[in-house]
């Protein structure tokens, strides 16, 4: 029984203690954007914001107006309409007319060099490309600004997001900076699942090592907000180099870091916000893609995560009952003390995780519900490793095997 006790401590208590310690160690490194920003260079370097949009008529105008409201003094916005059929093209053309000098509308397939906003329309997807990769590639082909900022069309950024990020990048010599957003979670399932999915993804990918220049093989990114020095982007082949990657943002960051560039991933819930997956079906499709893609279609990390959730996550509940039985009947409180410590450490870790993305801590107290659902999403990722079939915005995608 003593062997069982120490085995339980090793697989149940110690890992959650390590996760809590990891928060203390890495918190400052991941929260650089909360510090007072250094002064911008004079004059500030040029930035082109590139945003792809496919069937985004419901909120593309709000996104563009947010992008156009940045307090930065030297930037340009380019939106790529990627084969939309829902009114996105018409909305973007109207915005381009209103924002272009003299009210002139840029022609389809061209940009207005003097406009703060330009629109590029893509009618067909060339072979060998995924849609978003092609849209971003087309949107950067003739850009000559110092920096590129990729922002997804479902993202809301604060007016100082660009200036603060460029200030840190320029002052500290970063070549690429990606920001993790605040979750605009509105439904119960969003609040319950997205924080724990994101945390699992971060642990599986060792995302905090993105900020360690001594580990060139470890890097991830969030394509919802991704600032990169244009010369570095072009040196690694840009989106052409990741044209068939289902998680092009992660693979682009990995290419940059492997090439010796300084890459950073920071939490910035005060600067960037998004609503990721609003329904159970979107969670299943979206996180299946993310888990499979960032694992490079190797199921091992997801299998390991499932095993951990079963052995070190959900095991706390039967162990609490077992410990209570031994304490009451056998007057042996060791298991109950260990199970209590296990539950406390796990609860503290989850509470911080949910608080960090600003959805509140209450949903973090329900791992008995979120962990089984997370296991299902990880299993979906394992399935996607096998068939490599995905769906995005109504488009079926199948990733070719190497």
Contact 168, 282 (CB under 8 A): no
Does residue 13 carry a pLDDT above 80?
A: yes
**pLDDT for residue 388 is more than 90:** no
Mean pLDDT of the chain: 91
Res 15 pLDDT > 90: yes
Rounded Cα distance, 147 and 150, in Å: 10
358 confidence band (pLDDT: 50, 70, 90): confident
d(CA 381, CA 289): 6
Task: Decide if 165 is inside a domain.
Answer: yes
Provide the pLDDT for residue 401: 67
Is 127 within the bounds of a domain? yes
Residues 35 and 20 in one domain: no
CA atoms within 13 A on the CB side of 58: 3
Instruction: Report if residue 242 sits inside a domain.
Output: yes
- Asked if 272 contacts 155 with a C-beta cutoff of 8 angstroms, the reply is yes
Assign 402 a pLDDT band (cuts: 50, 70, 90).
Answer: low
Regarding whether 135 and 270 lie in a shared domain, the answer is: yes
pLDDT in tens, 49-105: 999 999 998 889 999 999 999 999 999 999 999 999 989 999 999 999 887 654 443
What CATH number does residue 242 fall under?
3.90.550.10
- 7: phi then psi, degrees, rounded to nearest 5: -65, -40
Place of tokens 């007016």: 159
Q: CA 131, CA 147: separation in Å to the nearest integer? A: 23
**Residues 169 and 226 occupy one common structural domain:** yes
For the chain, the three-class secondary structure string (H helix, E strand, C coil) is CHHHHHHHHHHHHHHHHHHHHHHHHHHHHHCHHHCCCCCCCCCCCCEEEEEEECCCCCCHHHHHHHHCCCCCCCEEEEEEEECCCCCHHHHHHHHHHHHCHHHCCCCCCCCCCCCCEEEEEECCCCCCCCHHHHHHHHHHCCCCCCEEEEECCCEEECCCHHHHHHHHHHHHCCCEEEEECEECCCCHHHHHHHHHHHHHHHHHHCHHHHHCCCCCCCCCCCCCEEEEEHHHHHHCCHHHHHCCCCCHHHHHHHHHHHCCCCEEEEECCCCEEECCCCCHHHHHHHHHHHHHHHCCCCCHHHHHHHHHHHHHHCCHHHHHHHHHHHHHHCCCCHHHHHHHHHHHHHHHHHHHHHHHCCCCCHHHHCHHHHHHHHHHHHHHHHHHHHHCEEEECCEEEECCCC
The reported pLDDT for the residue numbered 105 is: 38
Question: Residue 106's pLDDT is what?
Answer: 36
pLDDT score recorded for residue 101: 56
Q: Which residue has the higher pLDDT, 400 or 171?
A: 171
Residues 316 and 242 occupy one common structural domain: no
What pLDDT does 394 receive? 61
Q: Kindly state whether residues 75 and 21 are assigned to the same domain.
A: no
Cross-strand pairs, 119: 79
Is 373 domain-assigned?
yes
Per the structure, how many domains does the chain have? 2
Residue-number span of the structural domain to which 124 is assigned: 31-181+222-278
| pLDDT attached to residue 291 | 96
In terms of domains, do 14 and 128 share one?
no
Nearest to 50 by CA among 78, 83, 81: 78
Token pair of 110 as six digits = 């061209």
Co-location of 341 and 249 in the same domain: no
Instruction: Kindly report, residue by residue over 255-314, the tens digit of the pLDDT.
Output: 999 999 999 999 999 999 998 887 888 899 999 999 999 999 999 999 999 999 999 999
In a domain, 20, yes or no: yes
pLDDT at 12 over 70: yes
**Domain contains 204:** no
* Predicted local confidence at residue 48, as pLDDT: 97
Same-domain pairing of 113 and 239: yes
205-264: pLDDT as tens digits: 999 999 999 999 999 999 999 999 999 999 999 999 999 999 999 999 999 999 999 999
For residues 121 and 265, membership in a common domain is answered with: yes
pLDDT at 392: 65
Residue 205 in domain: no
- What's the chain's Rg over C-alpha atoms? 23
pLDDT for position 393:
61
Nearest to 353 by CA among 367, 338, 337: 367
Extract the tokens encoding 31. Answer: 């929260």
> What pLDDT does 185 receive?
85
154 and 115 part of one domain: yes
Q: Is residue 50 part of a domain?
A: yes
Query: How far is Cα 191 from Cα 187, in angstroms, rounded to an integer?
Result: 6
Query: What per-residue confidence (pLDDT) applies to 93?
Result: 94
272 and 347 both lie in a single domain: no
Residues 237 and 101 in one domain: yes
pLDDT above 90 covers what percent of the chain? Answer: 81
Q: How far, in whole angstroms, is CA 156 from its chain's centroid?
A: 14
């Amino acid at each position: 029984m003593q062997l069982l006790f120490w085995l339980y401590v090793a697989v149940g208590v110690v890992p959650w203690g390590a996760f809590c310690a990891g928060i203390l160690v890495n918190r400052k490194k991941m929260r650089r954007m909360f510090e007072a920003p250094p002064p911008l260079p004079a004059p500030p370097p040029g930035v082109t914001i590139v945003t792809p949009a496919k069937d985004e008529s419901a909120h593309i105008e709000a996104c563009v107006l947010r992008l156009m409201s940045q307090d930065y003094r030297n930037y340009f916005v380019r939106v790529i309409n990627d084969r939309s059929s829902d009114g996105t093209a018409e909305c973007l053309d109207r915005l381009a007319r209103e924002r272009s000098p003299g009210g002139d509308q840029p022609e389809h397939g061209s940009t207005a060099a003097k406009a703060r906003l330009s629109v590029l329309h893509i009618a067909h997807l060339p072979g060998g490309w995924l849609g978003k990769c092609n849209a971003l590639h087309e949107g950067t082909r003739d850009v000559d600004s110092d920096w590129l900022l990729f922002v997804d069309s479902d993202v809301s950024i604060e007016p100082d997001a660009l200036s603060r990020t460029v200030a840190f990048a320029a002052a500290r010599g970063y070549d690429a900076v990606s920001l993790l957003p605040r979750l605009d979670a509105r439904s119960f399932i969003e609040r319950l699942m997205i924080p724990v999915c994101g945390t699992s993804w971060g642990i599986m990918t060792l995302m905090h090592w993105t900020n360690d220049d001594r580990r060139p093989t470890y890097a991830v990114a969030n394509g919802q907000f991704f600032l990169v020095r244009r010369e570095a982007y072009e040196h690694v082949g840009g989106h052409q180099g990741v044209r068939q990657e289902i998680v092009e943002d992660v693979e682009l960051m990995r290419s940059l870091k492997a090439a010796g560039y300084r890459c950073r991933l920071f939490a910035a819930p005060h600067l960037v916000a998004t609503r990721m997956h609003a329904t159970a079906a979107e969670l299943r499709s979206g996180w299946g893609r993310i888990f499979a893609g960032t694992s490079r279609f190797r199921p091992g990390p997801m299998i390991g995560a499932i095993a951990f959730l079963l052995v070190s996550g959900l095991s706390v509940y039967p162990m609490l009952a077992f410990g209570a039985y031994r304490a009451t009947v056998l007057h042996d409180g060791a298991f109950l003390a260990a199970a209590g410590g296990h539950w406390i450490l796990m609860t503290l870790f989850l509470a911080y995780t949910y608080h960090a993305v600003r959805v509140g801590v209450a949903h973090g107290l329900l791992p008995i519900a979120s962990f089984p659902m997370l296991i299902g999403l990880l299993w979906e990722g394992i399935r996607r490793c096998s068939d490599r079939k995905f769906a995005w915005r109504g488009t079926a995608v199948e990733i070719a095997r190497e």
